[in-house]
Amino acid sequence: HVFLSGLAILPVLLKTLFDPYFVQDCSYMLNALKHGIRLAKYKKKKPFYSILDCFLDAVKKQPNKTFLHFEGTSHSYVEVDKQSNKVARALQTRANLKQGDTVALFLGNDPCYVWIWMGLAKLGCAAALLNFNIRSKSLLHCFSCCGAKVIIAAAGKDGLREAVEEVLPTLKQQGISVYLLSEECSVDGIHTLSEHIYQASDEPLSADLRASITFKSPALYIYTSGTTGLPKAALVTHERVWAASFIQAVSGVRSDDVLYINLPLYHSAGFLVGLTGAIERGLTVVLKRKFSASQFWEDCRKHNVTVMQYIGETMRYLCNTPKKDNERDHKVRIAIGNGVRSDIWTEFLNRFGDIAIRELYAATEGNIGFINYTSKIGVVGRVNFLHRRMFPYTLIKFDIEKEEPVRNSNGLCIKAAKGETGLLVGKITKYSPFVGYAGNNQQTEKKRLRDVLQKGDLYFNTGDLLRIDEQNFVQFQDRVGDTFRWKGENVATTEVADILTMVDCIEEANVYGVKVEGHEGRIGMAAVKLKEGKEFEGANTFSQVTNYLPTYARPRFIRIQSSFEMTGTFKMKKVSLVEDGFNPAAVHDPLYFLDPAMKTYVPLTEEIYTSINNREIKL
């Protein structure tokens, strides 16, 4: 009998063994399992073992190893530890912080980002990582939704101090303490911090200060663009910090690697996958203020960088640099990131050599992620038995026109077939929780999807359209309606629409993203309806969008319409607008183009259109 049943499973066995991805699947599963077990162990430890404890262990083990390289300076593990002790002590006395408090950070990429966050962690405080591109209304909103009572801002040349001064009256009114990383400031209501940090003792702080922090406590708030306009603060618990910090380990990064972080630290890619992932590995980080394609390989050579992070645009900018003889002369062996298109992926490998690209799919607040662990180009991952068992997810049929899932006569969603594009939803369970957004129940509820495969079940709606092919590879397709991505940033269409409708002449605005040949993502475009009897005011609209929106969110094209097409559920239709694009030969409504040099919106001529397509005009 044993023999017979053995024979019966033989075909299955042979099939799996000859599946070229079988070994990769297994090694990935084992690796993932190993880290799952580690996390379970940390969670059981009393007190909870956080990423900060992991850093402190690294300080004991390798005090003199360089932790951060930055613009010609370097800081060892022990130096960063001491510096963060000083920060913690200064904040403890100056701002009277205690565990459970939240502090907003309004800083650019700089080593002090690291020790200020770490100082806060030592006091048991959560950090809200503000995007340094935001201003005025958005800034106030982001600040207030995380419930912070303190904001720390950089004083450098990047205008953050001015941005804070602009909203200071409101902050004062709300009793918020504002600290500037500077030795002096004469503005009433802004406190300085640098001198206090400098003078504070660097002695370690007692772990009792953070004794009540558990894996469920908030560690960070990271902002994601939302559907109702203003950004949302995704609550990142200590458990999630750990989960994201394992991505490097799962991607094969070792403790002797050198990681290059050139993405902003206010995003989860830079902060969690990059920085805390580096702490988990105990490696050396080369931190960059801002990505620079021309300095990229020079930096890598200078510091012996072996692991890089990217977004789709990074790869493209690198591929667009002039060819050099020494461009394969570097030690980079792994690239971790997301959003690279297959043509660029191939070109990148051809030019810069054999680099393992770990393309991943994940959302800061989402409860499901993928990582490519095979050698297949252009995919974000692979359907994997264990992964699916641990984090049940499914793709469901989606109606792009109505922007909602298709439901059958019983009111349940319908699974997308193999090869068919569908909306990715992840089942909300104890192991794949969705904690939601701070101070925004309505938005949290909007991301929950009920009655998906069974009555009463509950899923997280990623808002992303993916496809699973016959060979079980997962491909990212697109984002659903309300947000689009440009230059690696999510743009919330309703936030942009809110800003546009504040312009005098504009009655209504319908914002969307359009594809431009040779660019990742979509660039902003708005269809607007003018108020009765008004003309379009290019210069006013220009100053409105430049005052209130970061560069990547500004609509580059405007289309004037006399009326909007609505869907059956009274939403503005976007699909046909997106398809129409911005070609003046094809669109008969008046079109305008944001011209930064002229400081206004100018009529979009054939000539401008051609120059954009020839890349003579940079977007």
Ligand X SMILES: *[C@@H]1O[C@H](CO)[C@@H](O)[C@H](O)[C@H]1NC(C)=O
Binding site for ligand X (CB under 6 A): 63-64, 303-304, 356-358, 372-375, 377
Q: Provide CB contacts within 8 A for 85, sequence distance 6+.
A: 119, 122, 200, 201, 202, 203, 204, 205
Nearest residue (CB) to ligand X, 82 versus 196: 82
Nearest residue (CB) to ligand X, 231 versus 369: 369
Closest CA to 499 of 135, 130, 106, 133: 135
Nearest residue (CB) to ligand X, 303 versus 427: 303
Task: Report yes or no: 335 and 306 within 8 Å, Cβ to Cβ.
Answer: no
Say which residue the tokens 């379970």 belong to.
Answer: 40
Nearest residue (CB) to ligand X, 141 versus 358: 358
Minimum CB–partner distance for residue 257 and ligand X (Å) = 12
Minimum CB–partner distance for residue 285 and ligand X (Å) = 13
Minimum CB–partner distance for residue 354 and ligand X (Å) = 8
What DSSP element (H or E) covers 23?
helix 22-44
Nearest residue (CB) to ligand X, 356 versus 390: 356
- What are the CA-CA distances from residue 139 to residues 132, 170, 231 (Å)? 9, 11, 9
Closest CA to 131 of 226, 231, 244, 236: 231
Nearest residue (CB) to ligand X, 205 versus 356: 356
Minimum CB–partner distance for residue 309 and ligand X (Å) = 13
Minimum CB–partner distance for residue 373 and ligand X (Å) = 4
Nearest residue (CB) to ligand X, 230 versus 243: 243
Nearest residue (CB) to ligand X, 59 versus 222: 59
Residue 524 tokens read as 């902003």
How far apart are alpha carbons 500 and 549 in whole angstroms?
Answer: 10
DSSP letter (8 states) at residue 503: S
Q: Quick one: 451 exposed, middle or buried, by C-beta within 10 A (0-12, 13-18, 19+)? A: middle
Minimum CB–partner distance for residue 310 and ligand X (Å) = 12
Nearest residue (CB) to ligand X, 123 versus 258: 258
How far apart are alpha carbons 380 and 376 in whole angstroms?
Answer: 9
Task: Report yes or no: 317 and 520 within 8 Å, Cβ to Cβ.
Answer: no
Minimum CB–partner distance for residue 297 and ligand X (Å) = 14
Span between the terminal Cα atoms of the chain, in Å: 70
Give the SS3 label for residue 426: strand
Minimum CB–partner distance for residue 577 and ligand X (Å) = 35
DSSP letter (8 states) at residue 480: -
Minimum CB–partner distance for residue 84 and ligand X (Å) = 18
Task: Report yes or no: 590 and 561 within 8 Å, Cβ to Cβ.
Answer: no
Task: Report yes or no: 377 and 438 within 8 Å, Cβ to Cβ.
Answer: no
